Amino acid sequence: MSATPSMEEPDRLFVIPAVTGTITVFSLQGDLDLHTAGLLRRAFLTAPAGRLTCVVVDLERVAFVDSSGLSALIDLHRTAKAVSGWLRLAGIPAVLQPVFRITGLDGYFDCYPTVDRALTA
């Protein structure tokens, strides 16, 4: 009898929301992948009304991202754009930068070296 893998592993990703003025910042820590992307989506979609317009996702403490994680970020970007808003990425670690460059997502997203820079752009 084989074990059924858990669809989500919430202890592998922490999503910490914070509000700075009219901007919501989601600081992520851990892996953004098939098993954790749903946590980010839910955090985004359960944010208070009006808080999905201007969003910064802080990736500084993300150790790994796969196609499911990238897809979640793309979905959130589209959701923000649909309400005339924006989503910016901040602090992409050096280990993840090739993933964004190879996929072309470094040109799709507005990327900033720090949260502070993303907030003031």
- pLDDT (tens place) for every residue of the chain, 121 residues total: 333 344 556 678 999 999 988 899 999 999 999 999 999 999 988 887 666 789 999 999 999 999 999 999 999 999 999 989 999 999 999 999 999 999 999 999 999 999 999 999 9
Q: What token pair was written down for 113?
A: 């070296």
Give the strand pairing for 86-90 and 110-112: parallel
Domains of the chain, CATH where assigned: 10-120 (3.30.750.24)
CA atoms within 13 A on the CB side of 77: 15
pTM score: 0.89
CA distance 25 to 16: 8
In what order do the strands lie in the sheet containing 23-32? Answer: 13-20, 23-32, 54-65, 86-90, 110-112
